[in-house]
A and B are shown apart, each in its own frame.
Chain A
Amino acid sequence: MLPALVRKTWRDDRLALIGWAGGVAAFTAIYTSFYSQFQGAAELKQDALPQGMLDFLGIADMLSPAGYLQATIFSLVGPLLVLMCAITLAARTIARPEEDGGMELMLANPISRAAFAWQRVAAAGGALTGIAAVPWILLMIIVPWVGMDIPLSNVAAASAGLVALVWCFAGIAFLIGAATGKRAVVLAVTGGLAVATYMANAIGGMVDGWHWLRWLSPFHYFIGTDPLHTGWHPVELLTLVLLGAATTTAGVIVFDRRDIGV
């Protein structure tokens, strides 16, 4: 039996969870299912955009199956969607209930501070993993079905990267929420960090002499290895996961030490 707090967390967040899962599923399914119809439009888009813009958006080419998937699901909108989901759900673990006061009664139960934090993380992290894995599951079905010529193992590697990216940013968002207890700070700082590191990866890939910059960006470890062409890169994925685990652990420790609801 799962802890009461985990079940309670899921129940309280169920509308948001269903909404996000549905949104991510619709986005993935619509873009990929109409692969063949989009081809014409993709050509137009590719011709219309200058090469620099394509590089910045992380689009190599929109004509090959891998390029199409990269452009539609993995380069901009996909990560944007799941990261927005990750940041808002992470803000709900501690910052939001602390601000609205509901946390006090959740903590007034026989549970240590650290156990409370871990259970909230487990509930949010579990749900988040499920939502971030939606593209993975759907692509495993849709890619063969619409006849995209791309190894499923490569699609799985890129999809796994999306999950790892979500863990990384969810960990950061959790840490900020656990430390400050302020929802606005979580959204602003983590959102800002996501935009900044996305740009760092893009600029690092485009501008000579700035290549080192991309090593600072989680997006590089997610998509910079070009998993749709080159497959699995365990070290890069592990880096993201460890970053998420480290920030989460730090968040639990900080939360265990501070005053609540001041």
Chain B
Amino acid sequence: MTSDIAVFAEDLTKFYGQRRGIEGLDLEVRVGEVMGFLGPNGAGKTTTIRLLLDFLRPTRGHASVLGLDPRRDKAALHRQIGYLPGELAFPGRDRADDLLRFFANARGGVAWSQVTGLAERLDLDLSRSVRTMSKGNKQKVGLVQAFMHRPALLVLDEPTSGLDPLMQQEFLAMVREASAAGQTVFMSSHVLSEVQQVADRVAVVRDSRLAAVERVESLGKRAVRAVEIHFDDPVDPAEFSALPGVSDVVVSGPVLKCTIDGRIDPLIKAAARHQVVDMLSAEPDLEETFLSFYYHAEGAGDASRAGA
């Protein structure tokens, strides 16, 4: 366990009775890194986060956060953590500024300009009662309290839920700045595109297990692209389906549709034997890549990726 690891989990497992929350999670998040934590609803993202914050106790395995034990060192650890819950609920019926003052005091004092600065960025009216706020505004209060004490580690559970696109961009900018300032960010999401813009790496959980940990760039390289080629005359699907990397070949008359994993060259060479009218190639779609992680890739393929 070295000091450049912010979050470390080893065989981290949580069962709720018979129901599995997360099983056998091995994970390392480096200091200063932005890690996206992706998976469909109910995959175990929130369970993992709640284990790291000591709301839950592991059934098996252990975690250490900023080199500290989540349970034994909770008080010291939470001074350095900014946490945004996935199910945001605020204690009491205070105005936003009174509530944030409570958080500031409970964390040993926070420069108030820090709070007002964040509120201004997010266009949040601090004089309103949090109970009467819309979901989006509540989310902003949650973000302000998570960022306000400049914690070494930000743990954000579905941080953009409820935010409009403009505010989502502002939030992503906040994450980038935090990362530039040396803060570590661990954020969960079920939407890849938002994570993709800021994360250095993504961890994917599916069905309570870690499916993959990848650098965001390498995901793009590996991505499956969809190709559609229009010919002058009808073509024979057999000509294309045997090509390396090509799959899902569908031919309807002169139109060929397929997906290609890896180099596109063999497909181009094969197509060049015919008169080509038009060719469409969709940008590598990370969302689709991830859907394949979620719903298709089973067994061996997964395990080898998990080790990456």
CA of A104 to CA of B102 in the docked complex: distance in angstroms?
A: 14
Instruction: Assess A109 versus B93: contact at CB under 8 Å? Given A259-B55, A262-B56.
Output: no
Most buried by A among B74, B93, B98, B145: B74
| Complex contact B106–A107 (CB within 8 A) | no
Q: Which of B79-87, B199-207, B221-229, B285-293 contacts A (4 or more CB under 8 A)?
A: B79-87
Please count the residue pairs between chain A and chain B whose beta carbons lie under 8 angstroms apart in the complex: 80
- CB B233 to nearest CB in A, in angstroms, measures 64
**For the complex, is B299 an interface residue (Cβ under 8 Å from A)?**
no
Contact, CB under 8 Å: B85 / A109: no
By a CB distance below 8 angstroms, the chain A residues around B142 are: 105
Q: In the bound complex, how far is the Cα of B88 from the Cα of A261, in angstroms?
A: 13
A238 an interface residue at 8 Å Cβ cutoff?
Answer: no
Q: A108-B78, A260-B55, A261-B55 are in contact. Are A102 and B91 (CB under 8 A)?
A: yes
Which of A47-55, A66-74, A110-118 is the contact stretch?
Answer: A110-118
- The residues of B that contact A111 with a CB separation of less than 8 Å are 74-75, 78, 106
Question: Interface readout for A227-258 with B: 1 if CB under 8 Å, 0 if not?
Answer: 00000000000000000000000000000011
Task: Kindly state the interface size class of chain B when it binds its partner.
Answer: 20 to 34
Q: A4-B102, A4-B105, A260-B55 are in contact. Are A115 and B75 (CB under 8 A)?
A: yes
**The one of A12, A106, A110 that contacts B108, using a Cβ cutoff of 8 Å:** A110
Say if the beta carbon of A213 comes within 8 Å of chain B. no
Which interface class (under 10, 10 to 19, 20 to 34, 35 or more) fits A?
A: 20 to 34
Secondary structure at the A interface, as helix, strand, loop or mixed, is helix
A191 CB within 8 Å of chain B: no
Residues of A near B98 (CB, < 8 A) are 11
Q: Assess whether A193 is interfacial by the CB under 8 Å rule.
A: no
B28 within 8 A of A: no
User: B92's contact among A3, A8, A258, by CB below 8 Å, is which?
Assistant: A8
Distance of A27 from chain B, by nearest CB (Å): 27
Contact partners of B91 in chain A: CB under 8 A: 8, 12, 97, 102-103, 105-106
The CA of A260 and the CA of B55, in the complex, are separated in Å by 5
B55 touches A5 (CB 8 A): no
Smallest CB gap from B101: residue in A: A4
What chain A residues lie within 8 Å of B231 (beta carbons)? none
Apart from A101-B88, A105-B83, A260-B56, list 20 A-B contacts with CB within 8 A. Answer: A5-B106, A8-B102, A101-B89, A102-B89, A102-B90, A103-B91, A104-B85, A104-B87, A105-B90, A105-B91, A108-B78, A109-B78, A110-B76, A110-B108, A111-B74, A115-B75, A259-B56, A259-B57, A260-B55, A262-B56
Q: Which residues of B approach A to under 8 Å, CB–CB?
A: 16, 50, 53-57, 74-76, 78-79, 81, 83, 85, 87-94, 98, 102-103, 105-108, 142, 145
**Pairs across A and B, CB under 8 Å, 5 listed:** A7-B102, A101-B87, A105-B85, A106-B91, A110-B106
